[in-house]
Structure 1
Amino acid sequence: MKYSTDPEKLAQLIKPFGYQQLTEKGLRRAYNLGNLIRAQYPTLLGGKYNESQVYLRSTDITRTKMTLLAALAAVYPPAQEWQKGLNWTPVPYTTVPEEIDFNRALNSCKTFMTEVKQMYKLNYPEMIKYKKILELVMTHLHLDMNLVDKPLYINKIYNVFMSQISLGLDLPEDLKENLTEIKKAADAAFAVLYRDNKRGSILPYESGVLLNEFFNYAQMMINNITTQAMRIYSAHHENVYAFSKISRTDIGGMPDYGATFALNLRKEKYTDNFIVEPVFYVPSLQDNYQLKSLVVDGCGNPCYYSTFENLTKKYAWHYDTWRSNCH
């Protein structure tokens, strides 16, 4: 709340939903995402929900569960009306406690938490060009101007700004005029946070197990071993960004709420070659989506599975490895 330009008014606007929850706008965006997923993968999803066809998992956070439920309402509309006047069918998902969830490294992985906290305390040369915009933001928020020298906080601040705007609480005029620059600073902060540093990469802590799961289940499909054809995870913007980075793709900055990254495994029609196709679902202000094909850096076009594996496998962690490295 301290990152809002009007915390008291924002608190009133939040009351009907509760803190950190999904709004009607968020539900609509998630439902539209579900429609797009249904349109993209009709054969893999099947006519109605079947556990043997799709794996569904959410972090143990109310808003990510609600996001998944809203999306699934569109992914699996009822084949027939089972309750008069109710155009919805329940679809189950799985979750695990937050303290052992590899998709919640910011809360579950001590090593990662320590690293990130340290990074937020530091200044970075590449953030100097955003100093004026940071000063403008901190002045409006009446925060300690020392935060200008801890520029990674701008990504948290930008998220709060976007949340309050969506609830109908506008920004002061000079901040509104500079919102594009604030987003650029937030993007730069995310790039700094997830790049390799002297101690190595933090990407495996955030998305190494996800990458390993992609390899495991892709290999099962390649070897004609029965498994779900789709795996869908409802998580957080840090997961979307880290998973795209570990896959050597560029989604263009810190993702907005509802953004979705996917790795598709495809087989060439007339050969035995398998291809990795990364795609990004970009939400718009109107809560619709644009589907964006991405390029895997250094993999060629098409990006063959074997090449992708060689480029990225050093970052793939078994879950036990993740737990051990996270202490």
Structure 2
Amino acid sequence: MARPGFRGHPAGPLLLLLLLPQALTEGPLVFVAVVFRHGDRAPLASYPTDPHKEDVATLWPRGLGQLTGEGVRQQLELGRFLRSRYAMFLSPQYHREEVYIRSTDFDRTLESAQANLAGLFPEASPGRSEATWRPIPVHTEPVTEDKLLRFPTRSCPRYRELLKEATEAAEYQAALEGWKDFLTRLENFTGLSLVGEPLRKTWKVLDTLICQQAHGLPLPSWASPDVLQTLAQISALDIGAHVGPPRAAEKAQLTGGILLDAILANFSRVQRLGLPLKMVMYSAHDSTLLALQGALGLYDGHTPPYAACLGFEFRRHLGDPDEDAGNVTVSLFYRNDSTGLPLTLKLPGCPAPCSLGRFRQLTAPARPPAQGIPCHGSHEPATPAATVVPLLSGAVAVLAVLSMGLGLMAWRPSCLRAWGGPV
């Protein structure tokens, strides 16, 4: 049975199939993008009555929110999975022309990226001799400037409007009313003010309890399995309001659609200019994956576990060319449990693998419009789309472009900030 915080969740209502061996009719792999959550970490915070709050420095010597030894192991394991999966696609050693790694500017995601790369490339692996060990660069953006892997709530007026519409809906309010007595009891147990507050405060209680339980710490007597399950249901309601209906596509344009658009833009430019780039890796948070799942129409009510990985595989299709996108297909996989095979995600409305043209068509409503993102209020003009750093031809220019632009190819209105803080 999966340990809380360490393994995956059941697939739920997603249209999922066990990943079959790669079929020859799919053709050769030409590009991969993977987005993964950081590994196991310490709790982000405590609460006033937490029985372990006085022992934080002993229990979490690197600090709250920091990657743990288990988190490092999980990312090493994920990197080794990627090495096994792409052994015939990637070079045996790291080449900067082939792989680009981007992380949010948090210790836990930067360290997760490094641990993942240590599993993916032998020269970065633990135990190498000093003479042969080589670190691999990980690129990042300052937290306040990262518009690709962090998403808005408070600082985007239009997003606040959409979220308010979702939280004022009758179904949402009915669920809140049903949990009012539960939240009142939880206030007494935790010493926090929860009734009438944003549900994220309730989620933080759940996160602290799950982190402590996963590391073998005894929970207070009130934190029964039923309480944890109810907290998970409340968290799912909150996430659904952020990434689901009403107006899920418009929310996605301000969140996961930005990253989805960047992945498609990166592939198109690499192919058009004949660049040697084969893989882009993004080390981020569960909020990043949830927003991306929402943009794809694949959010199933479960939070991605530590080291969960969502992959996009672009292949040359051996059949008739697609009218809009040539002979390329897109396949999605989701690895949310290291004990089994990854899952194939089926984009709603398209068989797996999905032709690139159809994939673009189906996801267009969730990706930023050409005229810019409407981050301002509904009566204000949309923020103009930022100019994308142009890709230059020539071997010397490739790496400069990668460091300046790849992973940043997305609409970047200045009002975008973090979606409630990544976890």
Query: What is the TM-score normalised by the length of structure 2?
Result: 0.66
For 1:235, the equivalent position in structure 2 comes to 284
Deviation at 1:45, TM superposition (A): 2.5
Q: Which structure 2 residues correspond to residues 1-327 of structure 1 after superposition, within 5 A?
A: 1-3=45-47, 5-6=50-51, 8-9=53-54, 11-78=56-123, 84=129, 88-102=133-147, 103-106=149-152, 110-111=155-156, 115=160, 124-125=172-173, 127-128=175-176, 129-131=178-180, 133-147=182-196, 150-178=198-226, 179-197=228-246, 201-220=250-269, 223=272, 225-272=274-321, 273-283=327-337, 290-317=341-368, 320=386, 321-324=411-414, 326=416
Cα deviation for residue 127 of structure 1 reads 2.9
In terms of mean alpha carbon deviation, does 243-252 or 95-104 score higher? 243-252
What secondary structure is seen at the aligned counterpart in 2 of 1:25? helix
Deviation at 1:23, TM superposition (A): 0.8
Q: 1:10 to 1:113 in 2, by over 3 A?
A: farther
Cα separation, 2, equivalents of 1:93 and 1:170: 37
The alignment covers a number of residue pairs equal to 322
Give the direction of change, closer, same or farther, for the CA distance of 1:86–1:173 in structure 2 (3 Å limit): farther
Are 1:54 and 1:231, in contact at CA under 8 Å, matched by a contact in 2? yes
Q: Which has the higher contact order (CA 8 A, sep 6+)?
A: 2
Unaligned runs of at least 5 residues, structure 1: none
1:190–1:82: structure 2 CA closer, same or farther, 3 Å change rule? closer
Measured after TM superposition, the shift of residue 260 of structure 1 is 1.7
Closer, same or farther: CA 173–312 of 1 in aligned 2, 3 Å = same
Give me the identity figure in percent: 22
CA RMSD in angstroms, aligned pairs only: 3.5
Q: Structure 2 counterpart of 1:280, which letter?
A: Y
Partner SS state of residue 201, structure 1: helix
Deviation at 1:242, TM superposition (A): 0.6
Alpha-carbon distance in structure 2 between the residues aligned to 1:113 and 1:87:
52
Q: Deviations over 1:143-170 (max 9, x none)?
A: 22524x6445333332222222233323
Distance 1:280 1:259, change over 3 A: same
The amino acid of 1:234's aligned partner reads S
- CA 1:19–1:307 in 2, change beyond 3 Å: closer, same or farther? same
Change (3 A) 1:137 1:219: same
Residue 55 of structure 1 aligns to a residue in which SS? strand
Query: 2:161 and 2:70 mapped to 1: Cα distance?
Result: 30
Q: Tell whether the 8 Å contact from 2:75 to 2:112 is kept in structure 1 after alignment.
A: yes
Q: Is the 8 A contact 2:98 2:276 kept in 1?
A: yes
| Contact 2:240–2:301 (8 Å) recurs in 1 | no
Return the structure number with greater helix share: 1
